[in-house]
Amino acid sequence: MTNLELFIALGGISAENLSGAEELQRNPPAHTGRKPPMRRAVLIAAAVALTLLLVGCAVVYVLHLQDMKIGEEVITQEAWTGPSGEYVPPTEWVSSQLSLQGYNGSPEQLALREWLDFKEQYDPGNILLKENNMNESGVPEQYNITYDCYTFEMMDKLNEILDKYHLKPLGTWIYFDRWETPLFYEALQLDRLCRPDADVQRMAGYFSPEGSFHAEFGQTLDGEQEERIVTYTYAKNQYFYPYYSAMRNIELWEQWHYTTADGSDVLLATYENALVIICDCGDGFIHISTENEMLNPPYDNTAEPMTRQNAEKIANSFNYSISPQPCDPEEVEAMRANYPEPERQSHFMIGFRVPPEADFWLPPEEVADSFAHYISYVLENRNAAGNRDVDQLEYCITDLNSDGQPEVLLRYRDTGKYREILQMVEDPDSRQQVVSIRFINGYLYEGPVFESVIDDTKVDGFLYYEYRDFDWNSIACLRYNPKTKEWTKSSTKGDTHDVVWETISESEANVIQSAYTPLCLEMKPLSQFPMDG
């Protein structure tokens, strides 16, 4: 925005007076020792006010989410039944829409408002959109993919708005997947988006040939256990970025200005467990959003609030001194050959099945005829999803239930948790003796009694300790809430609403748990399993 545009937009001073003030700045009158005429004094005052305003406008605008607001709407959440069967009535809340570039009155914001207003009124019922299935009308990709134009009329309107506000269109989005993160950095000639002490995983997103981009990734800071999901958007000035951010009523957010460790000025805003970071970095705007543990509404309300200390720690983890460079889309496509998609690893349990009314799994038929064949399958699929910790496994062959038939137990060496119990059973379909598998994920006690430890803290807030006998009948189930420090017990797991849970003390829970004596067995590395047996 030029001085003239900003001054007129603020109102109160005419363009004629502004022109006079600017002329005075260029050609100040010679000092005569006399007071200037009143009109001249007014113009000088206007020029001084304008100078002060322009000097301070960055500080004023960067401090408030309200300065980037382009609209809002009321969202209605329908009534639902809570985890204990309680009725939760419908609720309403306000969703605020914020531009990802420019402040109120800027060409970028004015253009976005006008474009969104046009799209809202255009094509009621999406009739034209349905007619133009898969862009049959042939709208150029730059407008169809980047700006969602599906008619030439929409493209013409967009260009009209861009001409009006002297903005340029972005080129066609270039998408990159998680294994192409180096391609993203190389194409835009960027260093990392995060500081070196932040672990970044699974980045993916899209960017324009001009340098605007949107990336999503997992981030874990030094000393933290939980990974957070981050969205990082960079919108380059003088180009029209067509998307906006939607967030809960911005009047509820706490906002403050913060200078990061590298000297960058950023706006921080927090609400409940969420954080938004906005930085005007000169040639573009950075918009970052994240939160402490993703909420799973309406059941999970256990996320930790976003404190100021945590928000500032997270803000210090990002790199704000970025300057994406233009790239050639054809050259980027040629570069993809250097970043091929890695070979997809099949999940370890593909081909497994559960017979009707059974409490065990059966592996693929080709490896199910003996313990040795199944163990070979486990060892050979070290890199398969669900089986990458296989090198931690150790085994024991024992007659666990004293029925004269041996079982094979697989246990993790580092944690002492048992993963599987293997038995030979009759396949209901083939009537042949095959290996059956019970996945335990817990500990083994005399009896035998299996204790399965299930962490559902991210779903319903509880840790479950299930105790079952050899036939997999439930003996007892304890439930612990880490937040309230409360224990409850039930004879079943409690995964339906009609199960009754009884509150007990911590000492009562300890009595139940200490009643089971750990089973001591001699274990050997799984790699030493006798394959000739």
What is the pLDDT, as a whole number, of residue 454?
Answer: 84
Please tell me the number of Cα atoms within 13 Å of 307 on its side-chain side: 4
Query: In this structure, which amino acid lies at residue 531?
Result: M
Judge contact between 16 and 35, C-beta under 8 A. Answer: no
Backbone angles phi, psi at 17, to 5 degrees: -65, -40
Judge contact between 36 and 44, C-beta under 8 A. Answer: yes
Rounded to whole angstroms, the Cα distance separating 198 from 319 reads 11
Backbone angles phi, psi at 454, to 5 degrees: -120, 120
Tell me the CA distances in angstroms from 272 to 285, 289, 302, 312, one per residue in order: 24, 13, 11, 15
Closest CA to 266 of 227, 198, 321: 321
Residues 6+ apart with CB under 8 A from 325: 188, 189, 190, 211
What is the pLDDT, as a whole number, of residue 38?
Answer: 36
Backbone angles phi, psi at 496, to 5 degrees: -130, 160
- Pinpoint the alpha helices (H) of 63-168: 107-121, 127-131, 141-146, 152-164
What is the pLDDT, as a whole number, of residue 525?
Answer: 95
- In three-state secondary structure terms, 309 is helix
Which DSSP symbol is given to 448?
Answer: T
Bridge partners (DSSP) listed for residue 207:
174, 213
Residues 6+ apart with CB under 8 A from 418: 409, 410, 411, 412, 440, 441, 442, 443, 444, 450
Closest CA to 291 of 318, 315, 272: 272
Rg (CA), the chain: 32
Rounded to whole angstroms, the Cα distance separating 111 from 120 reads 14
Q: Could you state, in order of their start, the residue ranges of all structural domains in the chain?
A: 3-62, 67-169, 174-335, 365-528
What is the pLDDT, as a whole number, of residue 452?
Answer: 87
Closest CA to 511 of 484, 487, 493: 487
What is the pLDDT, as a whole number, of residue 55?
Answer: 39
Both tokens assigned to 273: 């467990």
What is the pLDDT, as a whole number, of residue 533?
Answer: 58
Pairing status of strand 239-240 against strand 168-169? parallel
Bridge partners (DSSP) listed for residue 300:
296
Q: How far is CA 77 from the centre of its chain?
A: 22
H or E element: which one contains 330?
helix 329-335
Which DSSP symbol is given to 518?
Answer: B
Rounded to whole angstroms, the Cα distance separating 148 from 151 reads 9
Rounded to whole angstroms, the Cα distance separating 503 from 487 reads 6
Rounded to whole angstroms, the Cα distance separating 126 from 119 reads 11
H or E element: which one contains 425?
strand 418-426
- pLDDT in tens for each of the 533 residues of the chain? 433 333 333 333 333 333 333 333 333 333 333 333 333 333 333 333 333 333 334 344 445 899 999 999 898 888 876 555 567 788 888 999 999 998 889 999 999 999 999 999 999 989 999 998 888 889 999 999 999 999 999 999 999 999 999 999 999 999 999 999 999 999 999 999 999 889 999 999 999 999 999 999 999 998 887 789 999 999 999 999 999 999 989 999 999 999 999 899 999 999 999 999 999 988 999 999 999 875 444 444 567 899 999 999 999 999 999 999 999 999 999 999 999 998 877 888 999 999 988 889 999 999 999 999 999 999 999 888 888 889 999 999 999 989 999 999 999 998 899 999 999 999 988 889 999 999 988 899 999 999 988 887 766 778 889 899 988 888 889 999 888 889 999 866 544 445 788 899 999 999 999 999 998 899 999 999 998 75
Q: How far is CA 233 from the centre of its chain?
A: 13
Rounded to whole angstroms, the Cα distance separating 190 from 515 reads 60
Does residue 298 have a cis peptide bond before it, meaning omega lies within 30 degrees of 0? yes
